Amino acid sequence: MIKVLVVDDSALIRKILTEILSSDPNINVVGTASDPYLARDKIKQLNPDVLTLDVEMPRMDGITFLRNLMKLRPMPVVMVSTLTHNGGLVTLDALEIGAVAYIPKPCLEGEGWFAMREEICDKVKSAAAAKVAAFDPDRFVQKSVIQPIDRAVQLSDKIIAIGASTGGTEAIKDILMQLPGQMAPIVVTQHIPKAFSTSYAQRLDRSCQINVVEVADGMRVSMGYAYLAPGDQHLRFEYSGQNLVCRLSSAPPVNRHRPSVEVMFDSLRQVFKGRIVSVMLTGMGADGAQAMLRLKQAGHTCLVQDEASCVVYGMPKVAFELGVTNVTTALRKMPEVILTELRKKV
């Protein structure tokens, strides 16, 4: 039984979240709090496994409370944030500080919440199993970039494809920040709402030597760029002449996700004429694992994050159990492993 403390200044939201979470037989809402000061006392009294935390609250905002909490008593936190530009920025701040996941506040106070019941319960259960570390200020410090690839190495016939879910926003950032600007193209599918994906791509672009952009339909895939799938569309590919281009699709979710890692992996396998280096990072569920197996069977390279460094060992675990991996490695070693694979002659 997962013990949850709901923290929100709105009595209505506290009631709705309590009702939704209590509908799952594996979740027990042990208490609620209307502000961080009350939450602090209830954490001591009730010792919850997971905290749901609103961003905007009286007396102390959610981000300040989260930073204090992750320094003094690290625990799994699921942020509750509005689907706005500012809400997206604050949510990304929370993930950097150590929040495990987020619940986007729907526009409709009642009906919208209950339509997300399964997603909300899944996120809380996933958070309960997540590995949580104390807040590390060094996370905000620019990481050293790995030595660039020798110009004699052929990169134009290679592409890197990265898939991730829970914990992935920071894992992807940790990898891209260490890669040099001279790189084979990188395509990324991270499970993220559209309201957050634009801000996320912009933040990555400011932090990395490689150029990071959110995909627009018809965008040409070029060396030195990383392409992030928008939060509400699948990322596919096709050739226009000799150029590989991105195609966006609003087709139904696959494995309950849009964008889906499986869609991206399968499209690359079916279309790309060169070598694919696929990477599966932290995340709950199994999205992309079967597609990664098909990549392996087609002779492409499959890299999987190891259990110890995953926030949630879900998607990588399924891929590993399917036997798809060429290399299983810790997140901190993944950038060098990617470059090693790119240097190999096929």
How many whole angstroms separate alpha carbon 215 and alpha carbon 98? 27
How many whole angstroms separate alpha carbon 237 and alpha carbon 257? 18
The reported pLDDT for the residue numbered 108 is: 52
How many whole angstroms separate alpha carbon 187 and alpha carbon 80? 28
pLDDT at residue 122 above 90?
yes
Of 191, 234, 257, 300, the catalytic one is 191
Cα–Cα distances (Å) from 191 to 13, 27, 33, in that order, read: 24, 24, 29
The reported pLDDT for the residue numbered 141 is: 64
Active site residue 24: no
pLDDT band of 103, cuts 50, 70, 90: confident
The 3-state DSSP class for residue 153 equals: coil
Of 8, 24, 54, 287, the catalytic one is 287
Highest mean pLDDT among 6-10, 81-85, 114-118: 6-10
Active site residue 287: yes
Query: Residues near 42 by Cβ (< 8 Å), separated by ≥ 6?
Result: 5, 31, 33, 48
Of 126, 165, 267, 309, the catalytic one is 165
Question: In terms of Cα–Cα distance, which of 95, 60, 69 is closest to 81?
Answer: 95
- When mean pLDDT is compared across 49-63, 234-248, 260-274, the lowest value belongs to 49-63
**Is the peptide bond between 259 and the residue preceding it cis, with omega within 30 degrees of 0?**
yes
The reported pLDDT for the residue numbered 153 is: 66
How many whole angstroms separate alpha carbon 103 and alpha carbon 9? 16
Active site residue 191: yes
Using one digit for the tens of pLDDT, what is the confidence trace for 2-17? 999 999 999 999 999 9
Using one digit for the tens of pLDDT, what is the confidence trace for 262-290? 999 999 999 999 999 999 999 999 999 99
The reported pLDDT for the residue numbered 84 is: 59
pLDDT band of 166, cuts 50, 70, 90: very high
Q: Provide the terminal-to-terminal Cα distance of the chain, rounded to the nearest Å.
A: 50
- When mean pLDDT is compared across 60-69, 104-113, 216-225, 264-273, the lowest value belongs to 104-113
The reported pLDDT for the residue numbered 109 is: 59
